[in-house]
Amino acid sequence: MSDALTIATGGMNAAALRLDAAAARVATPGAASAGEGGALPPAATVDLSSTVLDMITARTSFSVNVAVARTANTMAKQVLDILA
């Protein structure tokens, strides 16, 4: 059952990193993009639809991994109750 907790924790960390990356894209409008010589206007550098989709995906992924961790915790408690 610790494997489930390890996997859930890794998934939560990955979701947090994905959310941080999406937030950084929104927070730094006008930053120079790869392949371009200079800074572009904010509207041209941030694709809000894909960024919001990344944020929603990260939130959902985090929530699912929290549910896995809670379920693994409940299962461990039940096993201990059975063994006691």
Per residue in 46-64, pLDDT (tens digit) is 788 899 999 999 999 999 9
Helix 48-83 vs helix 2-27: angle between axes, to the nearest 10 degrees?
160
Q: So where are the chain's domains?
A: 2-83
Token code pair at residue 43: 């509207």
- Which pTM was predicted? 0.73
| Helix (H/G/I), strand (E/B), else coil: 32 | strand
Give the pLDDT score at 28: 77
Q: Which one, of 43, 1, 6, lies nearest residue 25 by Cα? A: 43
In the block, residue with structure tokens 């059952």: 1
Q: What is the rounded (10 degree) CA torsion for 4, 6, 12, 14?
A: -120
26-50 pLDDT per residue, tens? 887 665 555 555 555 555 667 888 9
